[in-house]
Amino acid sequence: MKIIILLVGVFSSLFIPRTNAQTDVYNLLVNDEPKNIRQAARIMAKGEQNTPENLDLLALIIEKEFEDAQSNRIDALSWGCKALAASGNSQYLVLLEKIIHSKFAHKKLKKYANQAYQKLLSTENLIIKQNKLKTTERNVIKKDYVGQDKNTLRLIPNAALTATERKIFAIAKGEWLAIKSIAQELEATEKPNTRVLDALSQFLMEMHLYTLDSEKIDVLSWICRALGHSNNGRYKLLLQNITTQITNKKLYTYTESASKEIKQTATPYVINSINFQQILDEYMQR
């Protein structure tokens, strides 16, 4: 009797459907059939097996096909966009942006790419907010100014730094008066330096969520003016995203105006692509 029960258990297990955990996503993607890509993407969209290797392979498939994919592959690629969004990795924003503004991508695919893009942006901003709240709660460093503490003030830039690097160093340190001067200079420049604009964009993104006094709001407003005057579409989506979060009336006005002043681009600035602590470590001398 025990032998019969054991055999029944063995045979019944052979006919149990494979679960997502048992399904090899990488092999499904390599197989390259639309149904397999769709199955793999749906699994990854649930947060399962979305390893860097699987995500990069999926992104590569989407990038190669999004402008000329056959109709039977559009659904699979659309699920692929959802999977990239579920990863929470902002490195895929650039690819999604390319799809959104492509003249040849399928309408359905562009729709899902846009949804994925917005989800990634929201995830990125949530992480920034959470990090700021944790920093405030721990109160590790007593700051005289937001983004500028006593230890940071004592940092001295390396003498070998270029003029551009010194400006980026000042932004990384959180020198508000210097940052205002830098923004004013760029606002009056015909072809402002993109590296400096990127640093100002990151500073704006990190600082706008704080409750700031009128002087600091004025500095952030000058940053918005500099970004708008640059007419560089690289910053449009960042400004649009910040506009939805701002409560200060003056800063809202300048951010919205700047976002309307510039055109869209396929290569947006990726939030957190600049790490101020790394810049300080690299550019300073003690």
Q: pLDDT, tens digit, for every residue of 10-49?
A: 344 433 344 444 479 999 999 889 999 999 999 999 989 9
Shared domain for 178 and 279, answered yes or no, is yes
Residues 106 and 161 in one domain: no
Structure tokens at 117: 């893009």
Is 126 domain-assigned?
Answer: no
Domain boundary among 120, 142, 167: 120
Query: Which pair of structure tokens corresponds to residue 123?
Result: 């995830």
Q: Where are the beta strands (DSSP E) in the chain?
A: 156-157, 284-285
Does a structural domain hold residue 132?
no
Buried b / exposed e across 162-181, counting CB within 10 Å, b at 16+? eeebebbbbbbbbbbebbbe
pLDDT digits (tens, 9 = 90+) for 122-153: 765 544 444 444 444 433 333 444 555 555 55
Q: What is the pLDDT along the chain (286 residues), one digit of tens a residue?
A: 444 444 444 344 433 344 444 479 999 999 889 999 999 999 999 989 989 889 999 999 999 999 999 999 999 999 999 999 999 888 888 899 889 988 899 999 999 999 998 888 776 554 444 444 444 443 333 344 455 555 555 677 778 889 999 999 999 999 999 999 999 999 998 889 999 999 999 999 999 988 889 999 999 999 999 999 999 999 998 998 898 888 899 999 999 999 999 987 767 888 888 999 999 989 887 5
Q: Are residues 115 and 233 in the same domain?
A: no
List phi, psi (to 5°) of 47: 90, 10
167 alpha carbon, distance to own chain's centre:
24
Sign of the torsion formed by the C-alpha atoms of 155, 180, 241 and 258: negative
Domain count, the chain: 2
Task: Give the DSSP H/E element, type plus range, for residue 187.
Answer: helix 176-187
- Predicted TM-score (pTM) of this structure: 0.53
The DSSP bridge partners found for residue 284 are 157
Q: Which domain holds residue 160?
A: 150-285
User: What is the spatial distance between Cα 232 and Cα 191, in angstroms, rounded to a whole number?
Assistant: 10
